[in-house]
Chains A and B, each alone.
Chain A
Amino acid sequence: MTRAGSKWITFALWVLFSLMTLVPIWWMFLVSVKQRADLFGKPSFLLNIGRMTWDNYAIVITNPAFQKYMLNSLIVSTANAALVCALGLLAAYAMSRYRMKGKDNIFFWVLTNRMAPPAAFLLPLYLLFTGVFSVGEWSLFDTRIGLILLYCVLNLPFAFWLLQGIIDGIPAELDEAAYVDGASTWQVLRTVIIPLAGPGIAVTGILTWVFAWNEYLFASTLTSVNARTITTGLAEFVTVTGTNWGQMAAVAMLTLLPAALVLALVQKHIVAGLTFGAVKG
């Protein structure tokens, strides 16, 4: 087979896979722009432009609750991603460069935090949030800061692992040289590690951002009205409107949109960043 031939076969295969990926999303989009009367009957994957409507989006976007949820999600995910990247970077640097007793056990322990079945931990977290971490009338419950801290339990292990792989990939000689020149740990981090790990940090940040954006169970239990996020909004929408499929699809599309934008940003680095410290071998 010629090289050009195999190139186009690969291309054709990818067209096929992409269709498989896109069909459910495309269907959701179709449902979101259909009129109520057109929902049932013979399903068609073609967009009927003449009968399409943006009403579902208009209803959702103009809903003040939805706007608040969106804003909360943006703040919580951004702050959480920044926090776990910062803490993860320090921890990963320590793990990668320092001689510490029981390092492997600490590493594994950090990972176990992501393994716990979330349902049972909701009760103690609820008690901590409402009763223990509170000052007078104020408590962590239904606050964005509460979610920002809580998502560390899911995202910090992940960031820690990814970043460790990335720092492991940076030759230790580089920071040794800087130390010899009299740099402090902080200066080494700032001038050597962060610039070299840049793409990796970006990928870590974006993935943790997406995970935080997507989290549902904790947010649904530990928020009430003020700090509710978009995923809880979506779930609420689905369970309570039951069969208002058009609006549900519109909310789901709007939930997906920011994450898709983020994906477009990170495209360039995503593969290089996802090494998890395993490749060095």
Chain B
Amino acid sequence: MRSSTTGWLLLLPTIVILVFTGVMPFIYVLLTSFFDWNLFAVNPEPQWAAANNFRRLVHDAEFLKSIWLTLKFTLYVLVSQVAIGFALARLMMRDFPFKKFFRAVHTLPLMIAPIAVGATWRLMTVPGLGPIPYYLKNWFGIDYRLSMFPDQAFASVVLMDIWHWTPFVTLTLLAGLSNLPQEPVEQARIDGANEVQIFWDIILPAMKPVLLTTIFIRIMDALRVVDEVWMLTQGGPGAETRFIGLHIWKIVFPKTDYGYGSAMSLLTLYLTIVICWLLYVAMTARKERPL
């Protein structure tokens, strides 16, 4: 380890840029959250409101519902993506023909803009044009209409996210699996352990840091999902897919409720940081004292 002055100098450009693009807006949002400020109120000037906005949030059913939906969405996509991604990564470790081709195909959704992902899925689900409503109706007699049935809309949004982001999980886990030392596994085989035991006792613990990192990144991004949901359902039907990012957008833009929207953002950011911090602590703890 070398002296810290050079270290700080190397970090400086990063810090400076993030202060301008991250910290300054944050301070603005922080200040705004303590004001009552709607452009089209009788008094359009910001008025000091102390902690009123935050107090209102606690009783705001729409906000709470939105948070709850976001958490539910995050949990669903996270569990599915990690499970599927892990299975696929293990499958990718095997030897089979055209491996590189399949890996490239699998990675494709990751490269698509969220807004285009939403457009793609909209084309799949539009009544009259998309194959999903058509075949569900003709093969299973299911009336599939995103704009009418909340469960279908929620499930579709979850499926879309799984389609979009599982490749990322697969790739990071694959990176982890490729770097695992092979000796413990082989030793265990010699000792007569079966594949299930090897997976639970050797591979999974060794993969824990990679898993945590992957989960961290996915949670961070799933909690702020907006574009593709906006494109597919616009938050509907009702408010059944109005995740927090979208909800805040509606409060801050069409409704121009700047003070309240800022308070909402802060609380959401705080929640995200807490969740991520817990994971981060788990990750760094692992680094310092190997289990």
Find out whether A and B make contact in their complex, taking CB atoms under 8 A apart as touching. Answer: yes
- Listed in ascending order, the chain A residues whose CB lies under 8 Å from chain B are 6-8, 10-11, 13-14, 17-18, 20-22, 24-25, 27-28, 31, 39-40, 42-43, 45, 87-88, 90-91, 93-95, 97-101, 104, 106, 108, 110-125, 127-128, 133, 149-150, 152-153, 156, 160, 185, 210, 213-217, 230-231, 234-235, 238, 245, 248-249, 252, 255-256, 259-260, 262-264, 267, 270-281
Q: Which of these binds chain A: B44-52, B56-64, B72-80, B269-277?
A: B269-277
- Once the chains bind, are B209 and A279 in contact (CB under 8 Å)? yes
Whole-angstrom distance from the CB of B288 to the nearest CB of chain A? Answer: 10
- Once the chains bind, are A14 and B245 in contact (CB under 8 Å)? no
What would be 17 A-B contacts, judged by CB atoms less than 8 Å apart?
A: A90-B11, A104-B284, A113-B22, A117-B244, A119-B261, A122-B252, A156-B14, A214-B112, A230-B113, A231-B116, A245-B123, A252-B119, A263-B110, A267-B103, A274-B172, A275-B210, A279-B176
Overall SS of chain A's interface:
helix
Q: Name A270's contact: one of B107, B244, B276 (CB within 8 Å).
A: B107
Q: Is B231 an interface residue (CB 8 A)?
A: yes
Q: Is B26 an interface residue (CB 8 A)?
A: yes
Q: Given contacts A101-B4, A279-B175, A281-B206, are A27 and B224 in contact (CB under 8 A)?
A: no
Q: Is B55 an interface residue (CB 8 A)?
A: no
A43 to B95, CA, bound (A): 37
Interface string of B89-126 (1 = CB under 8 A from A): 00100111110101111111111111110011111101
In the bound complex, residues from chain B placing their C-beta under 8 Å from that of A24 are: 120-121, 123-124, 163
Closest to A218 in B: B21
Closest to A277 in B: B213
Q: Given contacts A98-B3, A278-B176, are A118 and B245 in contact (CB under 8 A)?
A: yes
Q: Name A119's contact: one of B100, B110, B175, B265 (CB within 8 Å).
A: B265
Which parts of B225-240 form the interface with A (CB within 8 Å)? 226-227, 231
Q: Is B24 an interface residue (CB 8 A)?
A: yes
Q: Is B290 an interface residue (CB 8 A)?
A: yes
In the bound complex, residues from chain A placing their C-beta under 8 Å from that of B18 are: 110, 113, 152-153, 156
- Once the chains bind, are A98 and B119 in contact (CB under 8 Å)? no
In the bound complex, residues from chain B placing their C-beta under 8 Å from that of A215 are: 113
In the bound complex, residues from chain A placing their C-beta under 8 Å from that of B129 are: 31, 39-40, 43, 245
- Once the chains bind, are B104 and A252 in contact (CB under 8 Å)? no
A42 to B233, CA, bound (A): 23
Q: Is B141 an interface residue (CB 8 A)?
A: no
Q: Given contacts A115-B269, A263-B107, A267-B100, are A110 and B116 in contact (CB under 8 A)?
A: no
- Once the chains bind, are B253 and A119 in contact (CB under 8 Å)? yes
Q: Besides A99-B2, A115-B276, 8 other CB < 8 A contacts?
A: A43-B129, A120-B265, A123-B28, A210-B110, A231-B116, A238-B122, A270-B171, A278-B283
A168 to B282, CA, bound (A): 19
Overall SS of chain B's interface:
helix
Whole-angstrom distance from the CB of A167 to the nearest CB of chain B? Answer: 11
In the bound complex, residues from chain B placing their C-beta under 8 Å from that of A117 are: 224, 244-245, 248, 265, 268-269, 272
- Once the chains bind, are B273 and A14 in contact (CB under 8 Å)? no
A88 to B14, CA, bound (A): 7
A94 to B121, CA, bound (A): 43
Whole-angstrom distance from the CB of B137 to the nearest CB of chain A? Answer: 11
In the bound complex, residues from chain A placing their C-beta under 8 Å from that of B130 are: 27, 43
Q: Is B190 an interface residue (CB 8 A)?
A: no
Q: Given contacts A245-B129, A279-B179, are A116 and B22 in contact (CB under 8 A)?
A: yes
A214 to B223, CA, bound (A): 18
Q: Given contacts A6-B94, A97-B1, A123-B252, are A256 and B17 in contact (CB under 8 A)?
A: no
Q: Given contacts A214-B114, A278-B283, are A90 and B14 in contact (CB under 8 A)?
A: yes
